[in-house]
Structure 1
Amino acid sequence: MAHGPNYKVKYRRRREGKTNYYKRYTYVINNATRLVVRITNKYIIAQIVKFNPKGDVVIAAAHSIELAKKFGWKGDTNNTPAAYLTGYLLGVRALKAGIKEAVTDIGLFVPVKGGRIFTVIKGTIDAGLQVPVGEIGVSEDRIKGLHIATYAQKLESENPELFKRLFSKYLERGLHPKDLPSHFQEVLNKIKSGGA
C-alpha cells in the first residue's frame, strides 16, 4: 500500500464504491433535485431526492417489491418490465408531490444504452416527469417483456425441463411467461388508474 507525505486516503464511501464525490459535489452546487436509481440483485429502487445540509431528503420513492405487494405483479422484481413499472410509479408519485423535473443520479453504475437504469428513467418520463437525458435506447418490446415471452415459448417447445427450471418462480406465482406482456399492461393500467 502507498504511503508517504503525499499519499491521501480516499473517503470511506468512495473506497467502498458507494459514492462518487465529484458528481455529488456538482449536484449539491447546482441544488438539483435528483432522480436516484439503484439496482440490486433482487430489486429496483428509485427515489426523488433533494439536498439538505443535515442530510438528503427523499420526496418520493418507489421500490419494485411494491409492484408485487400492491399491484399484483407476478414477474421478477428486477427485470426490464419491473424497472419500467417502478419508474412509472415513481413518476406518478413525484408529480403528486409537486416535483416536475429532476436530473438523473445513477451513482457508480456504468451507463449502458438500453439498460435497466434507462428503462426506469423512461418510466418516469412517460409518467410526466421531465428528466434531461439523451438517447435511452430502450425498445417498447423489451419494456413489455416480449423478449422474455418469446424466449419462454421457444424454450418450452425445445427443452421443457430447462423451461420449468428457469421459469419456476413465474409458474409458482401463477404466471405463464408467455402471458408477461399482457400482465405488464394490466399492472401498468392499475398504476395509471390512481393506485399509487
Structure 2
Amino acid sequence: MIILHAFAFAAITALSPDYSALHKLNASFLKAGASLHIVFGQKNGFGLPIEGFEYLALTRSGKTKVVRHLNELRGSVEIKSSKEALDYVRLRTSPATWYLWKAEDEAIEIMDEDHARMLVNYGVGPCLQVGDTTRADMDQAGISAATVTTIHQSYRITRWLLLDLTPQGHQKLILRRVEEDVDTDGGYKMRVLKQMPVTNGWFIPRFE
C-alpha cells in the first residue's frame, strides 16, 4: 500500500547539510523558536513509497535533529491544555505522522469515525485514515475513547493503541490500553495497562 501525501513533491527546503524539509508541521504546543518538519536525509535521498524515507525533525536555535522518541521534545514544547496534551501524544499515532517514528514500534490510535474526522493533522494534507472504526466495533472489542485528566502540573491520557511489534518480517499486531503522563514541558512516560490480540480487520500499512 502506498500513501502519497499532497505535499510529497512540493518545494524542498534544506534545513541543514544532513536534512531537507518536505513539510512544516503546525503545532500549538511548540515554544517560540522551535519548529517541527517532516524531512528526508540528504545522504540517503528518498524513493517510493516516500513514507519509508521520511522522519520527524526538530529545529531550534539554528540546529536540526531527527526526533526518535517523544521525550526528546521535552523543553521545546509548552503544554497548556488537555487538548494540547492529546495533540502532543498523537504525534506518535496520528494518520499524518505515525510512520515517522522509525525507532519506535509503529502505533496508531483506535477511535470511532466521528472522532477521526476531527483529529488534528498538524497542517499535513489529506492522508489515509488508519485506526478509525465504528463505535459499535469498539464497544464489541471493549475499547473506549481516549480520556484526559489533570494531575498536579501534568496530564494523564488513557487510550487504546494498535501496534505492530515486528517492523521486520511477518507482521504481528496487538492492542494495548496505555496510560501516558505528559508534563507541561513535554516530559513523557507511558505504562501498559492491558494487552490483547487483534481479532478483526484492523491493520497498519507497511512501508518497505
Normalised by the shorter chain, which TM-score bucket? under 0.3
Q: TM-score, normalised by structure 2?
A: 0.26
Indicate the structure with greater helix content.
1
Asked which structure has the greater CA Rg, the reply is 1
Q: TM-score, normalised by structure 1?
A: 0.27
Indicate the structure with greater strand content.
2
